[in-house]
Amino acid sequence: MPRFEVSRTLVKSPPELWAELGAECLEPALGAVSVEATEPEREMTFAGNGVHGTAVLEAAGWGTKVTLTAETEEQVAKAGFWGRLRAPQPPPSQDLEEKLSEVLDSLGSAHKRPFSRG
């Protein structure tokens, strides 16, 4: 199984990131996923269509280090060898690392405007 890992230190607290990190955060990049907290405010697992992985939060200096790890299932197992030869499709992992980086970009950006009334 191909494995991908991206990490970044974000200038947000672990509780703030934990509140944002969930299925609705991962779904734009990975499609429909189910999320399960394995260690609240520290680690969660997720699983979706052909992909499963973890998100880990660790306090790091002025922020929080977020590490996203994902593994994809082999396409041969799903379609069978001959099915894959007849209708080749790009594996979901082709741009998975880029999609995980987009999740980190989204988590790192400001979602609320400070000092605004509205």
Tell me whether residue 91 is in a domain: yes
Burial 21-45 (b: 16+ CB within 10 A, else e): beeebbeebbeebebeeeeeeeebb
Question: What is the Cα–Cα distance from 66 to 4, expressed in whole angstroms?
Answer: 14
The number of distinct structural domains making up the chain is: 1
Number of other residues whose CB lies within 10 A of the CB of residue 86: 9
**Does the pTM exceed 0.95?**
no
User: Domain limits at 67?
Assistant: 3-108
Model pLDDT, residue 45:
95
Tell me whether residue 76 is in a domain: yes
Question: What is the Cα–Cα distance from 117 to 83, expressed in whole angstroms?
Answer: 56
Q: Which two tokens stand for residue 98?
A: 């880029």
Model pLDDT, residue 75:
52
The CATH number given to whatever domain includes residue 22 is 3.30.530.20
DSSP line for 79-112: HHHHHHHHS----GGGGHHHHHHHHHHHHHS--S
Tell me whether residue 115 is in a domain: no
Model pLDDT, residue 91:
47
Listed residue (45, 62, 53) closest to 11, CA to CA: 62
Give the DSSP H/E element, type plus range, for residue 25.
helix 23-30
The one-digit pLDDT tens for each residue of the chain (118 residues) are 688 999 999 999 999 999 999 889 999 888 899 998 889 889 999 998 888 999 999 998 889 999 999 998 765 455 555 555 554 444 455 588 888 889 898 888 866 555 555 5
